[in-house]
Amino acid sequence: MSKLPSGLKVTLLVPRTDNDGHSFPLRTWTWWTEELGELVTGFTDVGMATGWWRGVTDQNRVFVIIVRSLQEISAIRGLLVQACQEFRQEAMYLEYHRVFFEEVS
């Protein structure tokens, strides 16, 4: 077992609706999953989470990804810049931190 962190865990929150409460069309979600899938080896759509931001309650889809490099984080950040337009958001949530990761078989 490695004594040093071996990856970066990324958590993304993607809103289910725009700021006016309108759901996003299937084509927006298809774009999102295809673009994210091109950047990373795999990801997990953990499901829904209810959050509170500046006095407003909203629901978000939570995506978790393990990557190996800060270059991959940079690529994900670039996708989020595009996603701000697609999901009509001023900003989107990106969290990452070093983790111990292994594929056990």
Task: Tell me the pLDDT of the chain (105 aa) as tens digits.
Answer: 558 788 999 999 999 998 888 999 999 999 999 999 999 999 999 999 998 888 888 899 999 999 999 999 999 999 999 999 999 999 999 999 999 988 889
Amino acid identity at 103: E
Distance of CA 86 to the CA centre of its chain: 14
Please indicate, yes or no, if residue 2 is contained in any of the structural domains.
no
User: CB–CB of 50/18 below 8 Å?
Assistant: no
User: CB–CB of 91/78 below 8 Å?
Assistant: no
- Give this prediction's pTM: 0.90
Please indicate, yes or no, if residue 81 is contained in any of the structural domains.
yes
Reading the block at residue 95, the tokens are 């969290």
Please indicate, yes or no, if residue 59 is contained in any of the structural domains.
yes
Sign of CA dihedral 77, 79, 82, 83: negative
Based on the structure, what is the number of domains in the chain?
A: 1
- Give me the domain span that covers residue 55: 7-99
